[in-house]
Chain A
Amino acid sequence: MTERVNRFVLCTSGDSVKVYSTRTEEWLHSLQGHTNQVTGIALNRANHLQVYSCSADGTVKLWDFIDGILIKTFIIGYPLFAIYVSEKHDGIVFLHIAMDTDSKNECFQLVAVHLPKSAEQEVEAKELSAVSSRISPNPSCTAFGREGQYIAFARHLQLNVYFFRKQKTYSFSLKATDKKGAKNAFTCIACHPADDCIATGHEDGKIRLWRNFIHTKEYTYSTQHWHHNAVNTLCFTPEGTNLLSGGIESVLVQWQYGAGNRKEFLPRLGGSILHVSTSSDGQLFCTSHSDNKITVIESSFKVCGVIQGLVKGDAVLTDLMIDPRSKALVLNGKPGHLQFYSLMRDKHLYNLDIVQQEYIYEAGLDQFEVVKAAFDINGYWLATVEERGQKSSDLEFVLKLWAYDERTQSFVLNTTITAAHTDRIISMCFSSSEETTMLVTTAEDGQFKAWCQGADADTQQDQSFWSCEFVGSYHNLKPTNCSFSADSSLLAVNFQEVITIWSPDTWELLTTLCQPPGVVRDLCFGRLSCSKYLIATTTRNLLCCWNLLTCALEWSTSVEVSKLQPDPLSENVAAFSYQSKHTDLFVFKPSEPRPLFTHKNMCSEKIHRAVFVPREEPLNNCDESSQWLNRSQLYFLTQNMDLLTFSTATEEDRMLSSSKRLVIDDSVAVTPFYLLLGKHRQQQQKLNTPSHPAADKPQQPQGSVTITELLHTPAHVLPAASVLCSMLVSSLLISNTGVRKDPLREMESSEQEMNSEKEEEHSEEEMEACDSQQELRAQGSVDEVTPKLSKAQERELKRIRKTDFSWMTGLIDSKP
Chain B
Amino acid sequence: MGEFKVHRVRFFDYMPSGIRALAFNGDTERMAVARMDGSVEIFHCSDRFFQEKIIPGREQCGIEGLSWVGERLFSAGLNGGITEYDLTNQKVKYTIDAYGGPIWTITGNQQGTHLAVGCEDGTVKLFEVNEDKIQFERNLDRQKSRIVSLSWHTSGSKIAAGMMDMIQIFNVETGHSIHRMLADRGVGTSRSKECVVWSVVYLSDGTIVSGDSVGMVKLWDDQTGTLIKSHNVTKCDVLALSVSQNEDSLVAGTSEGTVVQFQFVSMVLGKDDKEWVRTRTFKNHTHDIRAVAEITTAVVSGGMDAQLVVKPLLDKIEVRSAASALRKIHFPHRRLVFCARNSGLMLFQYPGHLELWRLGESEGKGIPGSSLFVKRNPEKLLHLKVKGEDHIRCSAVSPCGEWIVYSTASSLRLYRLHCDNNNVSITKISKLPKVLSSANQLCFSSDSSHLFSASTQSSVHIVSLSQSGCKFVGTLKPKSGSHQAIHLLAASEDGEWLASANSDHEVHIYNLQTRKAHCTVPVYSSAVTAMGIHPTTNCLFMMYADQQMCEYSIEQKQYTDWSRTVQRKGLHRLWMERDTPCLNVMFNPQNPSHVILHDTYMLCIIDQSLPLPDDKTQFYNQLTLKSLTEDQRKSHSHAFKVCKTFKDILCVELISDQSLVVVERPLEDVATQLPAPIKQKKFAT
Contacts and interface: CB of A to CB of B under 8 A. Distances in A.
Contacts of B374: none
A255 to B, nearest CB: 12
How would you classify the secondary structure of chain A's contact residues: helix, strand, loop or mixed?
loop
Interface string B255-268: 00000000101111
A223 B280 contact: yes
B5 interface: no
B278 A260 contact: yes
A377 to B, nearest CB: 49
Interface string B225-253: 00001011100000000000000000000
Given A219-B315, A259-B231, A259-B232, A196 B277 contact: no
Interface string B270-305: 100001011111000000000000000000000000
Given A222-B279, A222-B280, A197 B232 contact: no
Contact of B279 (A146, A195, A220, A262): A220
Interface of B: 229, 231-233, 263, 265-270, 275, 277-281, 314-316, 683-684
A219 B315 CA distance: 7
A215 B316 CA distance: 12
Contact of B268 (A196, A228, A261): A196
A212 B278 contact: no
B408 to A, nearest CB: 43
Contacts of B281: 222-223
14 contacts: A194-B268, A195-B267, A196-B266, A196-B269, A211-B279, A213-B269, A219-B315, A220-B263, A221-B279, A222-B278, A222-B279, A223-B280, A260-B231, A260-B233
Interface string A211-248: 11111011111110000100000000000000000000
B597 to A, nearest CB: 28
Nearest to B229: A258
B265 A217 contact: no
B232 A261 contact: yes
B263 A196 contact: no
A164 to B, nearest CB: 13
Contacts of B279: 211, 220-222
Contact of A221 (B231, B280, B684): B280
B280 A220 contact: yes
Given A195-B268, A196-B267, A197-B267, A258 B315 contact: no
Contacts of A221: 279-280
Nearest to B271: A196
Given A219-B315, A223-B281, A261-B232, 14 more contacts: A195-B267, A196-B267, A196-B268, A197-B267, A211-B263, A211-B279, A212-B265, A212-B269, A217-B315, A220-B263, A220-B280, A223-B280, A228-B683, A260-B233
A535 B270 CA distance: 77
Nearest to B277: A211
Nearest to A146: B268
Q: Which of B229, B232, B268 has the largest number of chain A CB atoms within 10 A?
A: B268
A257 to B, nearest CB: 10
A220 B263 CA distance: 8
Chain A interface residue bracket vs B: 20 to 34
A218 B229 CA distance: 24
A575 to B, nearest CB: 51
Interface string A199-220: 0000000000001111101111
A214 B269 CA distance: 7
A260 B280 contact: no
A214 B265 contact: no
B54 to A, nearest CB: 32
Given A196-B268, A214-B270, A219-B315, A258 B232 contact: no
Most buried by B among A195, A260, A261: A260
Interface of A: 146, 194-197, 211-215, 217-223, 228, 258-262
Nearest to B217: A260
A786 B684 CA distance: 69
A220 B229 CA distance: 20
A211 B315 contact: no
Contacts of A259: 231-232
Nearest to B249: A220
A223 B316 CA distance: 20
A195 B275 CA distance: 11
A412 to B, nearest CB: 38
A163 to B, nearest CB: 9
A215 B265 CA distance: 12
A744 to B, nearest CB: 52
A217 B269 CA distance: 15
Contacts of B268: 146, 194-196
Given A196-B267, A196-B268, A261-B232, A218 B315 contact: yes
Contacts of B280: 220-223
Contact of A258 (B266, B270, B277, B314): B277
Contacts of A260: 231-233, 278
A262 B232 contact: yes
B227 to A, nearest CB: 13
A211 B265 contact: yes
A572 to B, nearest CB: 56
A336 B229 CA distance: 47
Contacts of A217: 314-315
A169 to B, nearest CB: 15
A174 to B, nearest CB: 12
A214 B229 CA distance: 26
A515 B278 CA distance: 76
A220 B269 contact: no
B631 to A, nearest CB: 41
Contacts of B231: 259-260
Nearest to A225: B683
Closest 5 CB pairs of A and B: A195-B267, A196-B269, A222-B279, A220-B279, A218-B315
A261 B267 CA distance: 19
B587 to A, nearest CB: 39
A197 to B, nearest CB: 7
A262 B230 CA distance: 12
A688 B259 CA distance: 72
Contacts of A196: 266-269
Nearest to B230: A259
A220 B232 CA distance: 19
Contacts of A213: 269
Contacts of B266: 196, 212
Contacts of B315: 215, 217-220
A262 B216 CA distance: 12
Nearest to A212: B265
Given A211-B277, A228-B683, A260-B231, A220 B265 contact: yes
A158 to B, nearest CB: 17
A228 B683 CA distance: 9
A146 B278 CA distance: 20
Contacts of B314: 217
Given A228-B683, A259-B231, A222 B277 contact: yes
A221 B683 CA distance: 23
A223 B281 CA distance: 8
Contacts of B267: 194-197, 211
A194 B275 CA distance: 14
A215 B270 CA distance: 11
A214 B263 CA distance: 15
